[in-house]
C-alpha cells in the first residue's frame, strides 16, 4: 500500500503548482496593455493543455527514463522513450522504494513544472509575437531546451552525475526561461507601442497571490517527502519572498520614483520566490533572509540595467526570473549546509570549499548560454515556417482581436 499521508501531500503540492500557471496568466494579463490581455493570458493556458499532450507522448520519458550511470540515456543529455505514453506505468506503480507514492503523481507533479516554464517566457515578448509562431515555439523549446535540462539535473543526467544541485528549478526553470526571454526580445525587437500602463493592478495582485501560494507546493513539494527538509523549504520560500519584497519596496521608495509602488512590492516578492527556488531545501532560514535581501537588490538592479540598455523585456522576465535563477544558484553554492539537508552539500560559507560553488557557477553559465543561443536558433527556424513577429497592423489593432476575435472587456 502507498503511504497515504505522503500521497495526499504530493497530490496537494501538484495541485498548487498547477494553480501557478493561471496565476501567471493573471499576473501577466494585469500588467499588459488593454488590447493584448487575452493573448498573453491564452499563451499560459495553451501551455497548460499542449504541454500535457507532449508530456504524455514523450516528454516525461525523455526527462525521466534512463540515466547516465547505467548508460541507458543519450550521453547524459536526454532520456529514452521507454516510458513514452506512460507505457509500463500503472496506478499501482510506486515512484521509488523510499518515496512510497504512485509514479502517476510524480508524472503530474513534474508536468506542472514543464507547463509553467515556457509560459514564464511569454511576458518578455508580450504584444508582438504571432500566436501560431508561439505554438511552434512552445513545442520546440520544451523538446530542445527544457527536457534536456530536466534530465541533466533531475533525471540522472550529466550535471547530476557531476554533483550539481538544484532543489526546485533555479537552473532548470528560472535561468533557462529568463535567458530565453532575453533572447526572444533580441530576436523580435521592441514593441511599436511601448508606453503603456498596467491595465489592471488588482488582477496583478490576484496573480501574485496565486503564484506565491503555489510556490509552496513548487518548493516544499520538491523534496518528494514530508520531513524536516520539506518544512525548511516551505518556510524559506516565504521568508525569502517577504524580505525581497520589502527590499525592493525600500529601494524604490528612496530612489527613482520616490514612491512605494504596489507593482514594485509584488515584483520584488516574485524575485525572492524565484531566487530561493534552487536553494530552498538546502539552506537555513537565516540564509533565506540574506538570499531574499540579495534577490531584492540584485533583481532590481538587473531591471534597471535592462532599462538602461533599452531592452524591451516588457514584463521583466530576464531581470526577475533569469537573474533570480542565477543569483539563487550562486547563493546555493555559498549557503548550502548538510545540517538542513544531509543529502545536500556544504557550501563555501559552511566549510565546503570552492568545489561545489564552482560546479554551480559552471552549470548556471552553461544553462543560460545554451538557453539564450538555442532560443535564437529556434526562433530563426520557426520564422522560416511562419512569421514570428506580429505585423504592425496586428499590434496596433490588438492581438486579442487580430488573433482571437475576442476582447477582454467591452468598453463601448
Q: What is the pLDDT of residue 197?
A: 79
201 pLDDT above the threshold of 70: yes
110 — pLDDT class (breaks 50, 70, 90): very high
Average pLDDT, the chain: 96
Percent of the chain, pLDDT > 90? 93
277 — pLDDT class (breaks 50, 70, 90): very high
Q: What is the pLDDT of residue 1?
A: 82
Distance CA 288, CA 328 (A): 10
- Asked if 299 and 244 count as a contact pair (C-beta separation under 8 A), the reply is yes
pTM for the full predicted model: 0.96
Looking at domain 4-404, which of 3.20.20.70, 3.40.50.2300, 3.30.365.10, 1.10.3430.10 is its CATH number? 1.10.3430.10
Of 195-199, 303-307, 351-355, 401-405, where does mean pLDDT reach its minimum?
195-199
Of the candidates 136, 116, 114, which has an alpha carbon nearest to the alpha carbon of residue 25?
Answer: 116
Q: What is the pLDDT of residue 34?
A: 87
Q: What is the pLDDT of residue 390?
A: 94
CA 62 to chain CA centroid, Å, is: 19
Q: What is the pLDDT of residue 106?
A: 98
411 pLDDT above the threshold of 70: no
86 — pLDDT class (breaks 50, 70, 90): very high
Express each pLDDT in 10-24 by its tens digit: 999 999 999 999 999
Q: Can you read off the three cell numbers belonging to residue 308?
A: 538602461
Q: What is the pLDDT of residue 408?
A: 87
Cell 507514492, residue located: 101
- Asked if 23 and 211 count as a contact pair (C-beta separation under 8 A), the reply is yes
Three-class HEC string of the chain? CCCHHHHHHHHHHHHHHHHHHHHHHHHHHHHCCHHHHHHHHHHHHHHHHHHHHHHHHHHHHHHHCCCCCCCCCECCCECCCCCHHHCCCCCCCEEECCEEEEHHHHHHHHHHHHHHHHHHHCCCCCCCECHHHHHHHHHHHHHHHHHHHHHHHHCCCHHHHHCCCCCCCHHHHHHHHHHHHHHHHHHHCCCCCCCCCCCCHHHHHHHHHHHHHHHHHHHHHHHCCCCHHHHHHHHHHHHHHHHHHHHHHHHHHHCCCCCCCHHHHHHHHHHHHHHHHHHCCCCCHHHHHHHHHHHHHHHHHHHHHHHHHCCCCCCCHHHHHHHHHHHHHHHHHHHCCCCCCCCCCCCHHHCCCCHHHHHHHHHHHHHHHHHHHHHHHHHHHHHHHCCCECCHHHHHHCHHHHHHCCCCCCCC
Domain parsing of the chain, residue ranges: 4-404
Q: What is the pLDDT of residue 40?
A: 96
Q: Residue 383 class from Cβ within 10 Å (0-12 exposed, 13-18 middle, 19+ buried)?
A: middle
Express each pLDDT in 29-77 by its tens digit: 999 988 999 999 999 999 999 999 999 999 999 999 999 999 999 999 9
C-beta neighbour count of 77 within 10 angstroms: 15
406 pLDDT above the threshold of 90: yes
Amino acid at each position: 500500500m502507498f503511504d497515504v499521508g505522503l500521497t495526499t501531500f504530493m497530490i496537494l503540492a501538484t495541485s498548487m503548482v498547477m494553480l501557478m500557471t493561471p496565476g501567471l496568466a493573471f499576473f501577466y494579463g494585469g500588467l499588459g496593455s488593454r488590447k493584448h490581455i487575452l493573448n498573453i493570458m491564452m499563451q499560459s493556458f495553451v501551455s497548460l493543455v499542449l504541454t500535457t499532450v507532449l508530456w504524455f507522448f514523450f516528454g516525461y520519458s525523455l526527462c525521466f527514463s534512463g540515466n547516465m550511470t547505467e548508460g541507458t540515456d543519450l550521453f547524459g543529455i536526454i532520456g529514452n522513450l521507454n516510458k513514452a505514453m506512460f507505457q509500463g506505468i500503472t496506478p499501482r506503480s510506486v515512484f521509488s522504494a523510499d518515496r512510497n507514492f504512485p509514479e502517476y503523481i510524480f508524472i503530474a507533479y513534474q508536468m506542472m513544472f514543464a507547463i509553467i516554464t515556457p509560459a514564464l517566457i511569454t511576458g518578455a515578448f508580450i504584444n508582438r509575437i504571432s500566436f501560431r509562431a508561439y505554438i511552434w515555439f512552445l513545442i520546440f523549446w520544451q523538446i530542445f531546451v527544457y527536457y534536456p535540462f530536466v534530465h541533466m539535473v533531475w533525471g540522472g543526467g550529466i550535471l547530476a552525475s557531476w554533483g550539481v544541485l538544484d532543489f526546485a528549478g533555479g537552473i532548470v526553470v528560472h535561468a533557462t526561461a529568463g535567458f530565453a526571454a532575453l533572447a526572444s526580445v533580441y530576436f523580435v525587437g521592441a514593441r511599436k507601442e511601448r508606453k503603456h500602463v498596467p491595465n489592471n493592478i488588482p488582477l496583478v495582485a490576484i496573480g501574485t497571490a496565486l503564484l506565491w501560494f503555489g510556490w509552496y507546493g513548487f518548493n516544499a513539494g520538491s523534496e518528494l517527502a514530508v520531513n524536516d527538509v520539506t518544512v525548511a523549504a516551505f518556510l524559506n520560500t516565504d521568508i525569502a519572498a517577504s524580505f525581497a519584497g520589502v527590499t525592493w519596496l525600500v529601494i524604490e521608495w528612496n530612489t527613482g520614483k520616490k514612491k512605494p509602488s504596489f507593482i514594485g512590492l509584488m515584483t520584488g516578492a516574485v524575485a525572492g520566490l524565484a531566487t530561493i527556488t534552487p536553494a530552498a531545501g538546502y539552506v537555513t532560514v537565516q540564509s533565506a533572509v540574506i538570499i531574499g535581501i540579495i534577490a531584492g537588490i540584485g533583481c532590481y538592479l538587473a531591471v534597471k540595467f535592462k532599462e538602461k540598455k533599452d531592452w524591451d523585456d516588457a514584463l521583466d522576465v530576464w531581470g526577475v526570473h533569469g537573474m533570480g535563477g542565477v543569483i539563487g544558484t550562486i547563493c546555493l553554492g555559498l549557503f548550502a549546509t548538510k545540517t538542513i539537508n544531509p543529502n545536500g552539500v556544504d557550501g563555501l560559507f559552511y566549510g565546503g570549499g570552492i568545489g561545489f560553488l564552482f560546479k554551480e557557477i559552471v552549470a548556471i553559465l552553461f544553462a543560460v548560454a545554451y538557453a539564450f543561443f538555442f532560443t535564437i536558433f529556434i526562433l530563426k527556424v520557426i520564422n522560416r515556417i511562419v512569421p514570428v513577429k506580429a505585423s504592425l497592423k496586428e499590434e496596433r489593432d490588438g492581438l486579442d482581436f487580430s488573433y482571437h476575435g475576442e476582447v477582454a472587456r467591452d468598453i463601448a
